[in-house]
A and B are shown apart, each in its own frame.
Chain A
Amino acid sequence: MKPAVLTGEHYITGDVACAEGALAAGCRFFGAYPITPATEIAEHMAERLPDVGGTFIQMEDEIAAMASILGAAWTGVKSMTATSGPGFSLMMENLGLGVCTETPCVIVNVQRTGPSTGLPTLTGQGDMMQARWGSHGDYEIIALAPSSPQDCFYHTIQAFNLSEKYRVPVLVMADEIVGHMSEKVVIPKASTISLVDRPKPSGRKDRFKLYQPGPNGVAPMPAIGEGYNVHVTGLTHDERGYPAMSVEAQEQMMTNLKGKIRNNLEDIIETESYRLEDAEIVIVSYGISVRTGLTAVDEARKLGYKAGLLRLVTVWPFPEEQIRELAARVKGLITIEINLGQVHYEVERCAGGQAPAHLVGSAGGKIIHPDKVIALIKEKF
């Protein structure tokens, strides 16, 4: 029997690294539905979870997979699912339920190219706006984008930690290349991995209010069977969790749902920078496209352009402030992403005309070549 944390050096795919990251984070329930290129996450979890006292179930579709991880989360366990575009679409319904009921869970989307069935075996980054707004209604969500198998391990842990801390579903927006490539992944000792668990209630059970926010805006969450008699509904609800069909209740609920994310942006948002200190041209990227960007920065520097890179580890919530500050001091911004403009428009919005925002995108299917970025730099700068 293998332990939950496989300390050591491994040569594994991003998909497997996601699964190992989840196990290291304490995930003990996986609701699955097979889909290329995310299937390997489910396969790995099916094998590993029983060993560590967890439970794996392959459901009848992605709607059910998403529903099952919400139910499991309310028993007190950390739960997750993994999918790709078509399945991600089906999960949107219950993702909204997870947001509304403030249910911690993690969803990995190993992106492929769409729309519809698209190119199932080839890469894409076309689900980024769906990640932000795919379920109906107005809400906040957290999405991370791994650029390597090592990232897959860490970002899945980070996703669980954020999910537990803020009681919100967290999305790991990987892609087919990161999911299927094998690289060295270092798994540290369990004792060095810091884990976060959801806030738990204390005090009198009969006075407990399910959605009364704590100090950081997040309400404590009991588990089924702990005697709190919670009522959990996707209807607009008051602090007790009871349906409340009023404009005031809606406003209060939205204030809480948005506030717990918007008021903690500094804690949530993570970015990385490369040669950004003196950069005049800033490449903004996330996920696999960061690798295009890193090469492009070096190539551009060789040609005499002062280029740098901002990597969005957290794509949602969007690092608006950072883009604004950069736009105020640089000659231009270039977003690289494997779609024809999604995060690019966010960069453009935040640049607010202070600096031009360009896109190096593609229709999908393969990683973008750095030459495309160099060509744009030569043309525009």
Chain B
Amino acid sequence: MTKNPQKPLKPAAHPLDDLIRTERIPHIWCPGCGIGTVFSSTLKAIKGTGIPYDRFTMVSGIGCSARGAGYVKLDSFHTTHGRAIPFASGIKMANPDLNVIVFSGDGDLFAIGGNHFIHAARRNMDLTVVCVNNLTYGMTGGQVAATTPNRAKTTTTPFGNPDAPFNLPLMASASGASYVARWTILHTRDLTDSINEAMAKKGFSFIEVLSPCPINYGRRNKEKPLDTLKLYQERTIIKNGADPARADIDFDRGVILGKFVDIDRQTCDSMYNSVCRPCSDD
């Protein structure tokens, strides 16, 4: 008899299993959500560095994306809402040898945590910040965020959003980030390469990843899961080196993806060493 088990007795090992707390799977993310894709790109990028895993740590705030820190098999920190960056800054400044990744969402990093973001960028804190931007507060059921497009419907803007959203690459660049890029979850190879490059980059690196939230955002804006992905495919254009001032998210005009900023500037910890610490021959 030829066996055709519908379910293999033992599931084949996933190539990223060594970076995942498999005992915590299944994860909490909804069907159609893009966070898992960003998460696996991040893990692939970590793997791709060849650096031992104990040299990495992941810090997150609060929200759907922030749960990533609970699934990664690294020293990982799920902190308070908006505070991942200052928590991570404490880690980095106390032990500059660590590669510190902040993995969180747009609501966490840019509304409640917006002040921390701009200051860490200003200081060129050597962090890699991966922001899953789903344009809404997913975990609390889809409220308006600092990234929600003007006129979009959410549970707290039932008549449409009267406000304008942030242009995240522009904010990062204007605040002093060393590396700024934007991708979507449809551009996984570019995204993985970009995160890998950002981790190797000394200084504040920021990667925005557009990611659908069909349950809590798409549903209220007549955008089915595949519609969002089609927008990512058809209404985006990759323009490395583009002016971040032109990076507004407007799918009618087209959305720019790619690497906006890649500059070299002294990091916060290296500046502290050279400015504040006594010279060895003092």
Indicate with 1 or 0, residue by residue over B149-178, a CB within 8 angstroms of chain A CB atoms: 000000000000000000000000000000
- Cα–Cα, bound, A79→B94 (Å): 9
Asked if A227 and B78 make an inter-chain contact with CB atoms under 8 angstroms apart, the answer reads no
Asked if A51 and B278 make an inter-chain contact with CB atoms under 8 angstroms apart, the answer reads yes
Residues of A within 8 A of B97 (CB): 225
Task: Select from chain A the residue with minimum beta-carbon distance to B118.
Answer: A60
- Cα–Cα, bound, A97→B60 (Å): 13
Residues of B within 8 A of A68 (CB): 86-87, 89-90, 93
- Give the residue among B24, B69, B89 with the most A Cβ atoms within 10 A: B89
Closest-CB distance, B220 to chain A (whole angstroms): 27
Closest-CB distance, A366 to chain B (whole angstroms): 36
- Cα–Cα, bound, A40→B88 (Å): 26
Asked if B80 and A71 make an inter-chain contact with CB atoms under 8 angstroms apart, the answer reads no
Question: Can you name 27 A-B pairs with beta carbons within 8 Å?
Answer: A1-B278, A29-B90, A31-B86, A50-B278, A59-B89, A63-B86, A67-B87, A67-B89, A68-B86, A70-B90, A71-B86, A72-B94, A74-B77, A74-B91, A75-B91, A75-B95, A75-B98, A97-B83, A224-B57, A225-B54, A225-B55, A225-B57, A225-B98, A227-B54, A228-B75, A229-B73, A229-B76
- Cα–Cα, bound, A77→B222 (Å): 51
Does B251 belong to the interface (CB within 8 Å)?
Answer: no
Q: Pick the residue among A56, A224, A233 that contacts B95 (CB under 8 A).
A: A224
Does A235 belong to the interface (CB within 8 Å)?
Answer: yes
- Cα–Cα, bound, A113→B115 (Å): 28
Q: Chain A's interface: helix, strand, loop or mixed, by majority?
A: mixed
Which residues of chain B from 77 to 111 have any CB-CB distance to chain A below 8 Å in the complex? 77-80, 83, 85-95, 97-98
Asked if B93 and A55 make an inter-chain contact with CB atoms under 8 angstroms apart, the answer reads yes
Task: Select from chain A the residue with minimum beta-carbon distance to B81.
Answer: A93
- Cα–Cα, bound, A365→B62 (Å): 40
Asked if A57 and B93 make an inter-chain contact with CB atoms under 8 angstroms apart, the answer reads yes
Does B276 belong to the interface (CB within 8 Å)?
Answer: yes
Asked if A97 and B80 make an inter-chain contact with CB atoms under 8 angstroms apart, the answer reads yes
- Cα–Cα, bound, A333→B59 (Å): 50
Task: Select from chain B the residue with minimum beta-carbon distance to A228.
Answer: B75
Residues of A within 8 A of B69 (CB): 231, 233
How many of chain B's residues have a CB under 8 angstroms from any CB in A? 39
Asked if A72 and B90 make an inter-chain contact with CB atoms under 8 angstroms apart, the answer reads yes
Does B249 belong to the interface (CB within 8 Å)?
Answer: no
Residues of B within 8 A of A55 (CB): 93-94, 272
Known contacts A72-B90, A72-B91, then 11 further A-B pairs from the complex at CB < 8 Å, ordered by chain A residue:
A55-B93, A64-B85, A67-B90, A71-B86, A73-B90, A75-B95, A224-B98, A226-B54, A229-B74, A233-B70, A234-B78
Task: Select from chain A the residue with minimum beta-carbon distance to B88.
Answer: A71
Does B116 belong to the interface (CB within 8 Å)?
Answer: yes
Task: Select from chain A the residue with minimum beta-carbon distance to B19.
Answer: A229
- Cα–Cα, bound, A60→B94 (Å): 17
Residues of A within 8 A of B88 (CB): 71
- Cα–Cα, bound, A64→B89 (Å): 9
Indicate with 1 or 0, residue by residue over B53-70, a CB within 8 angstroms of chain A CB atoms: 011010100000000011
Does B277 belong to the interface (CB within 8 Å)?
Answer: yes
Asked if A50 and B89 make an inter-chain contact with CB atoms under 8 angstroms apart, the answer reads no
- Cα–Cα, bound, A61→B86 (Å): 10
